[in-house]
Chain A
Amino acid sequence: GAVVSQHPSRVICKSGTSVKIECRSLDFQATTMFWYRQFPKQSLMLMATSNEGSKATYEQGVEKDKFLINHASLTLSTLTVTSAHPEDSSFYICSARSGTTNTEAFFGQGTRLTVV
């Protein structure tokens, strides 16, 4: 199946700093990418949807100025957690799909963010 690569797999940062997470589709063009957040023992919660070349659409309750999403090309989307706080510590997962309707989505391996 298609491969989505997420980097880094884990990161520790200090409170108040910013962290960038990259999501790349390695062998297909991802017209749409999704960013999820998952807290321990909970399910994945969608944060935002991004389409290449346009602004991301954020879910209710997700601060767009705090979680900056850029989808500048068909193979790369980035999520930047700005001014991170300990409560932002979570498992962040990206997902990518091509333009075909109702294909399966492909997920990155996730990024474990710890803010100290």
Chain B
Amino acid sequence: DAKTTQPNSMESNEEEPVHLPCNHSTISGTDYIHWYRQLPSQGPEYVIHGLTSNVNNRMASLAIAEDRKSSTLILHRATLRDAAVYYCILRDNNYGQNFVFGPGTRLSVLP
């Protein structure tokens, strides 16, 4: 599986935008980029995913570099509830493949 690299931790102030980076220099052409987050003592929660084009949904935006070797998850206005561990995961477009979780980025949101 292609690997991802994320900063161990980041801090943000409440109501400010947050840009969470992810490097995936060995991404293959069929790898989708998925983002999940895990709040304390809960299972992971889907955030967003994409292949080549930037994606937006009600939770976040995903900006994918033109060469696809990196991506950025953007939270437009961080809230205290966004404090979580964010995981950037690559998954090939193969049926049944599981998600391989790295250490992720622990986001702290300061009031």
Quick check: B43 and A109 within 8 Å, CB to CB?
yes
- Give the number of residues in B that approach A within 8 Å (Cβ atoms): 23
Quick check: B93 and A110 within 8 Å, CB to CB?
no
**List of B residues within 8 angstroms of A45 by Cβ:** 101
Quick check: B102 and A110 within 8 Å, CB to CB?
no
Quick check: A102 and B91 within 8 Å, CB to CB?
yes
User: How far does the alpha carbon of A91 sit from the alpha carbon of B104 in the complex, in Å?
Assistant: 17
Tally of contacts, chain A with chain B, CB under 8 A: 54
**List of A residues within 8 angstroms of B87 by Cβ:** 43
B100 within 8 A of A: yes
Main secondary structure of the interface of B (DSSP, over half): loop
Which of A14-22, A62-70, A77-85, A93-101 lies at the interface with chain B?
A93-101
User: How far does the alpha carbon of A51 sit from the alpha carbon of B98 in the complex, in Å?
Assistant: 12
Quick check: A112 and B41 within 8 Å, CB to CB?
yes
Taking CB as reference atom, which chain B residue is nearest A97?
A: B96
Binding site for A on B (CB under 8 A): 32, 34, 36, 41-46, 49, 87, 91, 93-96, 98-104
A-B contact pairs, 25 of them (CB 8 A): A1-B46, A32-B96, A34-B99, A42-B103, A43-B101, A49-B98, A51-B96, A91-B41, A93-B44, A95-B43, A95-B44, A95-B98, A99-B95, A101-B93, A101-B95, A102-B32, A102-B91, A105-B98, A105-B99, A106-B46, A107-B36, A107-B44, A109-B42, A110-B42, A112-B41
> Apart from A46-B98, A94-B43, what 19 extra A-B contacts exist at CB < 8 Å?
A1-B46, A6-B43, A32-B96, A34-B98, A36-B101, A42-B103, A43-B87, A43-B101, A43-B102, A49-B96, A93-B43, A95-B43, A95-B99, A102-B32, A104-B34, A107-B43, A107-B44, A110-B43, A112-B41
